[in-house]
Amino acid sequence: MRKLGISIYPEHTTVEQDKAYIALAHKYGFKKVFTCLLSINGDQEEIMRKFKETIAFANELGMEVMVDIAPRVFGALGISYNDLSFFAELGAYGIRLDMGFTGNEESIMTHNPYGLKIEINMSNATRYLDNIMTYQPNVENLIGSHNYYPHRYAGLSYAHFVTCSELFKRHNVRTSAFVNSHAATFGPWPVTEGLCTLEMHRDLPIATQAKHLFATGLIDDVVIANAYASEAEIKALSEINPQMLTFKAALFDTITELERTIVLDEFHFYRGDVSDYLIRSTQSRVKYKQEEFKPTYTPAIRRGDILIENELYGQYKGELQIALKDMENSGKTNVVGRIAEEEIFLLDYLQPWGKFQFSVR
Protein backbone atom coordinates (compact mmCIF):
# COMPACT_ATOMS: atom_id res chain seq x y z
CA MET A 1 0.00 0.00 0.00
CA ARG A 2 1.39 3.36 -1.01
CA LYS A 3 1.08 6.23 1.45
CA LEU A 4 0.90 10.01 1.43
CA GLY A 5 2.41 12.28 4.06
CA ILE A 6 2.92 15.82 5.29
CA SER A 7 5.79 17.56 7.07
CA ILE A 8 5.70 19.70 10.20
CA TYR A 9 8.40 21.82 11.81
CA PRO A 10 7.48 22.42 15.48
CA GLU A 11 10.40 24.78 16.06
CA HIS A 12 8.70 27.29 13.74
CA THR A 13 5.03 26.79 14.66
CA THR A 14 2.60 26.24 17.49
CA VAL A 15 1.24 22.91 18.63
CA GLU A 16 -2.28 24.05 17.72
CA GLN A 17 -1.28 24.91 14.14
CA ASP A 18 0.42 21.56 13.66
CA LYS A 19 -2.50 19.65 15.12
CA ALA A 20 -4.91 21.38 12.76
CA TYR A 21 -2.68 20.54 9.79
CA ILE A 22 -2.35 16.91 10.86
CA ALA A 23 -6.12 16.66 11.29
CA LEU A 24 -6.64 18.08 7.80
CA ALA A 25 -4.24 15.59 6.25
CA HIS A 26 -5.86 12.73 8.16
CA LYS A 27 -9.27 13.80 6.81
CA TYR A 28 -7.96 13.08 3.30
CA GLY A 29 -6.43 9.72 4.14
CA PHE A 30 -2.80 10.74 4.66
CA LYS A 31 -0.84 8.29 6.83
CA LYS A 32 2.62 9.78 7.31
CA VAL A 33 4.02 12.76 9.21
CA PHE A 34 7.63 13.82 8.74
CA THR A 35 9.22 16.10 11.31
CA CYS A 36 12.67 17.46 11.92
CA LEU A 37 14.96 17.31 14.97
CA LEU A 38 18.18 18.36 13.28
CA SER A 39 18.84 21.00 15.90
CA ILE A 40 17.74 21.64 19.46
CA ASN A 41 18.55 25.32 19.71
CA GLY A 42 16.63 27.17 22.38
CA ASP A 43 14.70 25.72 25.30
CA GLN A 44 15.34 21.99 24.88
CA GLU A 45 12.66 21.00 27.37
CA GLU A 46 10.02 23.15 25.67
CA ILE A 47 10.98 21.89 22.21
CA MET A 48 10.66 18.28 23.30
CA ARG A 49 7.34 18.97 25.04
CA LYS A 50 5.93 20.34 21.79
CA PHE A 51 7.25 17.38 19.83
CA LYS A 52 5.74 14.88 22.24
CA GLU A 53 2.31 16.52 22.33
CA THR A 54 2.12 16.81 18.55
CA ILE A 55 3.30 13.25 17.98
CA ALA A 56 0.76 11.93 20.50
CA PHE A 57 -2.03 13.68 18.58
CA ALA A 58 -0.87 12.17 15.29
CA ASN A 59 -0.68 8.73 16.87
CA GLU A 60 -4.27 9.05 18.09
CA LEU A 61 -5.27 9.46 14.44
CA GLY A 62 -3.29 6.37 13.44
CA MET A 63 -0.60 8.30 11.61
CA GLU A 64 3.08 7.36 11.44
CA VAL A 65 5.52 10.04 12.61
CA MET A 66 9.08 9.89 11.30
CA VAL A 67 11.64 12.07 13.11
CA ASP A 68 14.62 13.32 11.09
CA ILE A 69 17.76 13.42 13.24
CA ALA A 70 21.47 14.04 12.75
CA PRO A 71 24.22 12.12 14.62
CA ARG A 72 25.24 15.29 16.47
CA VAL A 73 21.77 15.42 18.06
CA PHE A 74 22.35 11.93 19.47
CA GLY A 75 25.26 13.40 21.42
CA ALA A 76 23.40 16.54 22.46
CA LEU A 77 20.53 14.49 23.86
CA GLY A 78 22.75 11.81 25.38
CA ILE A 79 21.30 9.09 23.13
CA SER A 80 23.14 5.98 21.98
CA TYR A 81 22.40 4.15 18.73
CA ASN A 82 21.94 0.93 20.74
CA ASP A 83 19.31 2.46 23.01
CA LEU A 84 16.45 4.11 21.16
CA SER A 85 14.07 4.28 24.13
CA PHE A 86 14.07 8.10 23.85
CA PHE A 87 12.29 7.92 20.49
CA ALA A 88 9.91 5.20 21.66
CA GLU A 89 8.92 7.41 24.60
CA LEU A 90 8.54 10.32 22.20
CA GLY A 91 5.94 8.23 20.37
CA ALA A 92 7.78 8.16 17.03
CA TYR A 93 7.06 5.56 14.37
CA GLY A 94 10.72 5.71 13.40
CA ILE A 95 13.76 7.90 12.96
CA ARG A 96 15.39 9.16 9.78
CA LEU A 97 19.15 9.44 9.82
CA ASP A 98 20.01 12.65 8.00
CA MET A 99 23.62 11.46 8.08
CA GLY A 100 24.54 7.86 8.67
CA PHE A 101 27.03 5.94 10.74
CA THR A 102 29.28 3.13 9.49
CA GLY A 103 26.63 0.52 8.61
CA ASN A 104 26.94 -1.68 11.66
CA GLU A 105 25.23 0.93 13.87
CA GLU A 106 22.30 1.20 11.45
CA SER A 107 21.98 -2.57 11.40
CA ILE A 108 21.93 -2.71 15.21
CA MET A 109 19.31 0.05 15.31
CA THR A 110 16.95 -1.99 13.09
CA HIS A 111 16.91 -4.67 15.79
CA ASN A 112 15.59 -2.26 18.43
CA PRO A 113 12.99 -3.80 20.78
CA TYR A 114 10.42 -1.07 20.11
CA GLY A 115 9.92 -1.88 16.44
CA LEU A 116 11.04 1.61 15.43
CA LYS A 117 11.66 2.02 11.71
CA ILE A 118 15.12 3.22 10.70
CA GLU A 119 14.96 5.42 7.61
CA ILE A 120 18.15 6.13 5.71
CA ASN A 121 19.12 8.70 3.11
CA MET A 122 18.57 7.56 -0.48
CA SER A 123 20.05 10.50 -2.40
CA ASN A 124 23.81 9.87 -2.49
CA ALA A 125 24.19 6.89 -4.89
CA THR A 126 26.86 5.25 -2.71
CA ARG A 127 27.09 1.64 -1.54
CA TYR A 128 25.79 2.75 1.86
CA LEU A 129 22.78 0.43 1.76
CA ASP A 130 24.88 -2.51 0.51
CA ASN A 131 27.21 -1.91 3.44
CA ILE A 132 24.33 -1.96 5.94
CA MET A 133 23.07 -5.18 4.39
CA THR A 134 26.41 -6.90 5.07
CA TYR A 135 25.74 -6.39 8.80
CA GLN A 136 22.46 -8.36 8.64
CA PRO A 137 19.85 -5.73 9.53
CA ASN A 138 16.21 -6.46 10.29
CA VAL A 139 15.02 -5.45 6.82
CA GLU A 140 11.42 -5.07 7.99
CA ASN A 141 12.54 -2.09 10.05
CA LEU A 142 14.74 -0.54 7.36
CA ILE A 143 13.29 2.03 4.96
CA GLY A 144 14.68 4.77 2.70
CA SER A 145 13.79 8.32 1.78
CA HIS A 146 15.28 10.89 -0.52
CA ASN A 147 16.41 14.34 0.58
CA TYR A 148 14.60 17.57 -0.25
CA TYR A 149 16.18 20.78 -1.53
CA PRO A 150 15.09 24.36 -0.71
CA HIS A 151 17.62 25.94 -3.13
CA ARG A 152 16.35 26.31 -6.70
CA TYR A 153 18.43 24.23 -9.15
CA ALA A 154 19.93 22.14 -6.31
CA GLY A 155 17.38 19.31 -6.47
CA LEU A 156 18.26 15.89 -7.83
CA SER A 157 18.53 15.28 -11.54
CA TYR A 158 16.15 12.60 -12.79
CA ALA A 159 18.98 10.31 -13.91
CA HIS A 160 20.64 10.48 -10.48
CA PHE A 161 17.28 9.91 -8.77
CA VAL A 162 16.79 6.71 -10.77
CA THR A 163 20.30 5.45 -9.97
CA CYS A 164 19.80 6.06 -6.25
CA SER A 165 16.30 4.61 -6.11
CA GLU A 166 17.18 1.45 -8.00
CA LEU A 167 19.81 0.63 -5.34
CA PHE A 168 17.04 0.49 -2.77
CA LYS A 169 14.44 -1.32 -4.89
CA ARG A 170 17.07 -3.99 -5.58
CA HIS A 171 16.94 -4.83 -1.87
CA ASN A 172 13.13 -4.48 -1.66
CA VAL A 173 13.49 -1.59 0.79
CA ARG A 174 10.46 0.71 1.03
CA THR A 175 11.12 4.12 -0.50
CA SER A 176 9.79 7.67 -0.27
CA ALA A 177 10.41 11.07 -1.85
CA PHE A 178 9.24 14.63 -1.31
CA VAL A 179 7.02 16.95 -3.35
CA ASN A 180 6.66 20.73 -3.23
CA SER A 181 3.56 22.63 -2.15
CA HIS A 182 3.09 25.99 -3.87
CA ALA A 183 0.89 27.25 -1.04
CA ALA A 184 3.40 26.42 1.71
CA THR A 185 5.73 29.13 2.97
CA PHE A 186 8.39 27.44 5.10
CA GLY A 187 10.52 24.40 5.79
CA PRO A 188 13.25 23.71 8.32
CA TRP A 189 15.66 26.40 7.07
CA PRO A 190 15.48 30.14 6.32
CA VAL A 191 16.02 29.59 2.58
CA THR A 192 12.81 28.49 0.86
CA GLU A 193 12.48 28.41 -2.92
CA GLY A 194 10.16 25.44 -2.84
CA LEU A 195 11.06 22.11 -1.28
CA CYS A 196 11.23 18.95 -3.35
CA THR A 197 13.41 15.96 -4.17
CA LEU A 198 13.52 16.29 -7.97
CA GLU A 199 14.49 19.65 -9.44
CA MET A 200 12.17 19.07 -12.42
CA HIS A 201 9.24 19.07 -9.98
CA ARG A 202 9.82 22.47 -8.40
CA ASP A 203 7.29 24.40 -10.50
CA LEU A 204 4.91 21.57 -11.42
CA PRO A 205 1.46 21.19 -9.81
CA ILE A 206 1.73 19.05 -6.70
CA ALA A 207 -0.47 16.25 -8.06
CA THR A 208 1.66 16.02 -11.22
CA GLN A 209 4.79 15.68 -9.08
CA ALA A 210 3.25 12.78 -7.16
CA LYS A 211 1.89 11.08 -10.28
CA HIS A 212 5.39 11.14 -11.73
CA LEU A 213 6.99 9.64 -8.63
CA PHE A 214 4.44 6.82 -8.53
CA ALA A 215 4.70 6.26 -12.29
CA THR A 216 8.45 5.65 -12.06
CA GLY A 217 7.72 2.49 -10.06
CA LEU A 218 10.61 3.45 -7.77
CA ILE A 219 8.79 5.32 -4.99
CA ASP A 220 6.30 3.83 -2.53
CA ASP A 221 5.39 6.88 -0.43
CA VAL A 222 5.10 10.58 -1.28
CA VAL A 223 5.45 13.31 1.37
CA ILE A 224 4.78 17.05 1.06
CA ALA A 225 8.06 18.62 2.17
CA ASN A 226 7.08 22.17 3.08
CA ALA A 227 4.33 23.55 5.29
CA TYR A 228 1.52 24.25 5.19
CA ALA A 229 0.06 22.83 1.98
CA SER A 230 -3.42 24.06 1.07
CA GLU A 231 -6.50 21.90 1.47
CA ALA A 232 -6.91 21.95 -2.32
CA GLU A 233 -3.41 20.50 -2.76
CA ILE A 234 -3.97 17.86 -0.09
CA LYS A 235 -7.28 16.92 -1.69
CA ALA A 236 -5.66 16.70 -5.14
CA LEU A 237 -3.02 14.29 -3.81
CA SER A 238 -5.66 12.18 -2.07
CA GLU A 239 -7.49 11.66 -5.38
CA ILE A 240 -4.47 10.15 -7.14
CA ASN A 241 -4.66 6.46 -7.95
CA PRO A 242 -1.04 5.27 -7.49
CA GLN A 243 -1.79 2.10 -9.43
CA MET A 244 -3.19 3.81 -12.53
CA LEU A 245 -1.74 6.80 -14.34
CA THR A 246 -4.43 9.48 -14.59
CA PHE A 247 -3.87 12.23 -17.13
CA LYS A 248 -5.32 15.65 -16.47
CA ALA A 249 -7.01 16.66 -19.71
CA ALA A 250 -9.25 19.17 -21.43
CA LEU A 251 -12.01 17.90 -23.73
CA PHE A 252 -12.91 19.97 -26.77
CA ASP A 253 -16.38 21.37 -27.44
CA THR A 254 -16.66 19.21 -30.58
CA ILE A 255 -16.63 15.95 -28.58
CA THR A 256 -19.83 13.89 -28.80
CA GLU A 257 -21.55 12.36 -25.77
CA LEU A 258 -20.47 8.88 -26.86
CA GLU A 259 -16.87 10.01 -27.29
CA ARG A 260 -16.99 11.67 -23.85
CA THR A 261 -18.22 8.38 -22.38
CA ILE A 262 -15.36 6.51 -24.03
CA VAL A 263 -12.75 8.96 -22.73
CA LEU A 264 -13.99 9.27 -19.17
CA ASP A 265 -15.91 6.10 -18.35
CA GLU A 266 -14.34 3.23 -20.25
CA PHE A 267 -11.45 1.14 -18.90
CA HIS A 268 -8.24 1.89 -20.81
CA PHE A 269 -5.03 -0.05 -21.17
CA TYR A 270 -2.04 0.46 -23.43
CA ARG A 271 -2.17 -2.18 -26.16
CA GLY A 272 0.95 -4.34 -26.07
CA ASP A 273 2.01 -4.18 -29.74
CA VAL A 274 3.67 -0.82 -29.33
CA SER A 275 3.80 1.97 -31.91
CA ASP A 276 6.19 4.93 -31.90
CA TYR A 277 3.26 7.20 -32.72
CA LEU A 278 0.25 6.10 -30.69
CA ILE A 279 -0.89 4.67 -27.38
CA ARG A 280 -3.87 2.54 -28.40
CA SER A 281 -6.84 1.56 -26.21
CA THR A 282 -8.86 -0.69 -28.48
CA GLN A 283 -11.75 -2.12 -26.44
CA SER A 284 -14.09 0.79 -27.18
CA ARG A 285 -14.06 -0.02 -30.89
CA VAL A 286 -15.33 -3.51 -30.03
CA LYS A 287 -17.96 -2.37 -27.54
CA TYR A 288 -19.31 0.41 -29.77
CA LYS A 289 -18.80 -1.12 -33.22
CA GLN A 290 -22.49 -0.65 -34.09
CA GLU A 291 -22.47 3.05 -33.18
CA GLU A 292 -21.92 6.02 -35.45
CA PHE A 293 -18.68 8.00 -35.23
CA LYS A 294 -19.06 10.91 -37.61
CA PRO A 295 -16.04 13.06 -38.52
CA THR A 296 -15.98 16.16 -36.31
CA TYR A 297 -12.77 18.03 -35.46
CA THR A 298 -9.86 16.67 -37.51
CA PRO A 299 -6.88 19.07 -37.38
CA ALA A 300 -3.22 18.08 -37.58
CA ILE A 301 -2.35 15.87 -34.62
CA ARG A 302 0.06 16.93 -31.88
CA ARG A 303 1.80 14.89 -29.18
CA GLY A 304 -0.56 14.74 -26.21
CA ASP A 305 -3.79 14.87 -28.22
CA ILE A 306 -6.60 12.46 -27.30
CA LEU A 307 -7.97 10.80 -30.41
CA ILE A 308 -10.97 8.69 -31.43
CA GLU A 309 -11.07 7.19 -34.89
CA ASN A 310 -14.18 8.10 -36.86
CA GLU A 311 -16.15 5.92 -39.26
CA LEU A 312 -13.91 6.79 -42.22
CA TYR A 313 -11.34 4.45 -40.60
CA GLY A 314 -13.54 1.40 -41.06
CA GLN A 315 -12.98 -1.27 -38.41
CA TYR A 316 -10.93 1.16 -36.31
CA LYS A 317 -13.86 3.48 -35.63
CA GLY A 318 -14.37 4.12 -31.91
CA GLU A 319 -10.77 3.26 -30.96
CA LEU A 320 -9.22 5.66 -28.43
CA GLN A 321 -5.63 6.73 -28.85
CA ILE A 322 -3.14 9.19 -27.40
CA ALA A 323 -0.67 10.79 -29.79
CA LEU A 324 3.00 10.24 -28.94
CA LYS A 325 4.25 12.27 -31.88
CA ASP A 326 2.99 15.03 -34.15
CA MET A 327 1.23 13.54 -37.19
CA GLU A 328 -0.79 14.48 -40.22
CA ASN A 329 -4.54 13.89 -39.93
CA SER A 330 -6.17 12.24 -42.94
CA GLY A 331 -9.61 13.39 -41.72
CA LYS A 332 -10.33 9.93 -40.33
CA THR A 333 -9.33 10.82 -36.74
CA ASN A 334 -11.37 13.00 -34.39
CA VAL A 335 -9.23 15.03 -32.00
CA VAL A 336 -11.50 15.07 -28.94
CA GLY A 337 -9.22 16.53 -26.26
CA ARG A 338 -5.71 17.15 -25.05
CA ILE A 339 -3.63 16.17 -22.05
CA ALA A 340 -2.55 19.13 -19.90
CA GLU A 341 0.74 20.51 -21.18
CA GLU A 342 2.53 19.94 -17.85
CA GLU A 343 1.54 16.26 -17.85
CA ILE A 344 2.44 15.30 -21.43
CA PHE A 345 5.86 14.12 -20.21
CA LEU A 346 4.07 11.44 -18.17
CA LEU A 347 3.29 9.63 -21.43
CA ASP A 348 6.88 8.35 -21.32
CA TYR A 349 6.09 6.43 -18.11
CA LEU A 350 3.08 4.50 -19.39
CA GLN A 351 4.24 0.98 -20.18
CA PRO A 352 2.66 -1.54 -22.59
CA TRP A 353 -0.40 -3.12 -20.91
CA GLY A 354 -0.36 -0.28 -18.37
CA LYS A 355 -3.76 0.97 -17.26
CA PHE A 356 -4.68 4.65 -17.56
CA GLN A 357 -7.54 7.10 -17.26
CA PHE A 358 -8.37 10.77 -17.70
CA SER A 359 -9.63 13.48 -15.37
CA VAL A 360 -11.17 16.64 -16.78
CA ARG A 361 -9.66 19.91 -15.61
Residues 309-354: tens digit of each pLDDT: 999 999 999 999 999 999 999 999 999 999 999 999 999 999 999 9
- pLDDT band at residue 164, thresholds of 50, 70 and 90? very high
**pLDDT averaged over every residue in the chain:** 95
Three state DSSP letters for the chain: CCEEEEEECHHHCCHHHHHHHHHHHHHCCCCEEEEEECCCCCCHHHHHHHHHHHHHHHHHCCCEEEEEECHHHHHHHCCECCECHHHHHHCCCEEEECCCCCCHHHHHHHCCCCCCEEEEECCCCCCHHHHHHHCCCCHHHEEEECCCECCCCCCECHHHHHHHHHHHHCCCCECEEEECCCCCCECCCCCCCCCECEHHHCCCCHHHHHHHHHHCCCCCEEEECCECCCHHHHHHHHCCCCCCEEEEEEECCCCCHHHHHHHHHCCEECCCCCCCCEEEECHHHHHCCCCCCCCCCCCCECCCEEEEECHHHHHHCCCEEEECCCECCCCCEEEEEEECHHHHHHHHHCCCCCEEEEEEC
- Asked if the domains at 3-243 and 247-360 fall in one CATH topology, the answer is no
Query: Would you list the domain boundaries of the chain?
Result: 3-243, 247-360
The CATH number of domain 247-360 is 2.60.290.11: no
CATH hierarchy code of domain 3-243:
3.20.20.70
Residues 63-108: tens digit of each pLDDT: 999 999 877 777 777 888 889 999 999 999 999 997 888 999 999 9
Percent residues over pLDDT 70 in the chain: 98
- pLDDT band at residue 136, thresholds of 50, 70 and 90? very high
Query: What value does the mean pLDDT take over residues 265-294?
Result: 97
